[in-house]
Chain A
Amino acid sequence: MPAARAQFWSGVKAELPILVGVVPFGLIYGILALDAGLTALQAQAMSTVVFAGSSQFIMAQLFAINTPVVVIIITAFLVNLRHALYSASMSTYVKHLSEGWKYGLAYLLTDEAYAVSINHYREPGELKYKHFYLLGSGLALWTTWQISTAAGILVGSVIPSELPLDFFIALTFIALVVPNLEDRAGLASAFSAGTISVIAFQLPFRLGLVLAALIGIVVGMVVEEKWPSMRVTGRERQADREGPG
């Protein structure tokens, strides 16, 4: 099937620029996961089983400070909820595929694979082989994520432990959040969640984190409803850039 193969490779090619940004995240994740006390095997397995950059960073951090499992699960779940949106928007394009294809593509449906593939799906052209494009971009990201995680684990086992490596997590999150705060609602959501997380930090089981996130979401929605589309900057919204989302 030359048409399918062509679709696959153009999916891979479209993913390449994004991969440049993904590699450092994979490296940092590998280093941090070891620093958080995970074994090399656990750190690598997480990149395969969970395969979601921001959740993996969050999980590593929460494991490091002995957070109760339920809180880790709820937090990671909340962070990944946005994938339901991708699933919804992809569903019309893949409904003709077999169950196996659906499961496989769902596993590969990260921020980055979605971002390039949905654009391709929306362009004119025959639908028949377009799922190979998503497969190509998804597998390119998957392979890069596994290899960069492994490289990070190797680097992490020789890096001096006096370096304040844990600060990388906060910096990574700052790099993810700040450029995407483009309107008042987003700013209000972030600042209210941040403030509550500090005030409620002493709550048991790190419940302050869940409370802060929920309040932040509600505040964002209320502000958006009262002052719709008040943009802070005119810049275009970018896709999340945190490794596989």
Chain B
Amino acid sequence: MTVWLTMLVVGLLTFGTRLSFIYLFGRQQIPTRVKRGLRFVPPAVLTALIFPELFLPGGTLDVSLGNERLIAGIIAALVAWRSRSTVATIIAGMAALLLLQALAG
């Protein structure tokens, strides 16, 4: 039930956001400050989700070569930077993680 309600609320909020200015048919301008801030929403939110996955495996800080997810994540980031390809990034990162886990036995 919680999942359904959450889904519904997020769905309505998303729809409302997409409709917002279309509904106001262009009479309202977005303040420049807000517009500038919106650009940083994706990198800020997504990185805030990525970092704990990489640096806190199992909930504790691990910045060592033994942290397979951190190493695999760095490799994936390098591939993403060079290739700009989503598929290449995901394959490289997953292959690196599986390989590192196999090596660690």
Which chain A residues have a beta carbon within 8 Å of chain B's beta carbons?
Answer: 21, 24-25, 28, 38, 42, 45-46, 49-52, 54-55, 58-59, 61, 63, 69, 72-73, 75-88, 90-92, 94-95, 102-103, 105-107, 109, 164, 167-181, 185-186, 189-198, 201, 208-209, 212-218, 220-221, 224, 235, 238, 240-241
Q: For window 1-45 of chain B, which residues contact chain A by CB distance below 8 Å?
A: 2-11, 13-15, 17-26, 29-30, 33, 35-45
Query: Between A and B, how many residue pairs show CB distances below 8 Å?
Result: 262
List 17 interface pairs A-B (beta carbons < 8 Å), by A numbering.
A24-B86, A42-B4, A52-B14, A82-B38, A83-B17, A83-B18, A90-B22, A91-B25, A95-B26, A164-B101, A170-B49, A170-B93, A186-B40, A194-B47, A197-B51, A201-B59, A220-B40
Beyond A73-B6, A170-B54, A221-B37, is A54–B90 a contact (Cβ under 8 Å)? Answer: no
Smallest CB gap from A215: residue in B? B44
Q: In which size bucket is the chain B interface?
A: 35 or more
Q: List the B residue with the shortest CB-CB distance to A243.
A: B86
Given A82-B38, A178-B81, the answer on whether A59 and B52 have CB atoms closer than 8 Å is no
Closest to A224 in B: B36
16 more A-B contacts (CB under 8 A) besides A83-B14, A106-B23, A178-B77? A50-B11, A54-B42, A55-B10, A73-B13, A87-B18, A88-B21, A90-B21, A106-B22, A168-B94, A169-B53, A170-B49, A192-B44, A196-B48, A197-B48, A197-B52, A240-B42
Nearest-CB distance from B62 to chain A (Å)? 11
List the B residue with the shortest CB-CB distance to A50. Answer: B11
Complex: A82 Cα to B21 Cα, angstroms: 12
B40 touches A91 (CB 8 A): no
A174 and B80 form a contact (CB under 8 A): yes
Q: B40-75: contact bitstring with A at CB < 8 Å (1 yes, 0 no)?
A: 111111111111111110010100000001001100
A177 touches which one: B6, B38, B42, B101 (CB < 8 A)? B42
Instruction: Say how far A62's CB is from chain B's closest CB, in angstroms.
Output: 9
Residues of A within 8 Å of B51, CB to CB, are 193-195, 197-198
Q: Contacts A69-B2, A179-B84: A171 and B48 contacting too (C-beta < 8 A)?
A: no
Residue in B7, B23, B50, B101 whose beta carbon sits within 8 Å of that of A170 in the complex: B50
Contact B90 A106 (CB under 8 A): no
Given A42-B3, A175-B86, A105 contacting B22 (CB threshold 8 A): yes
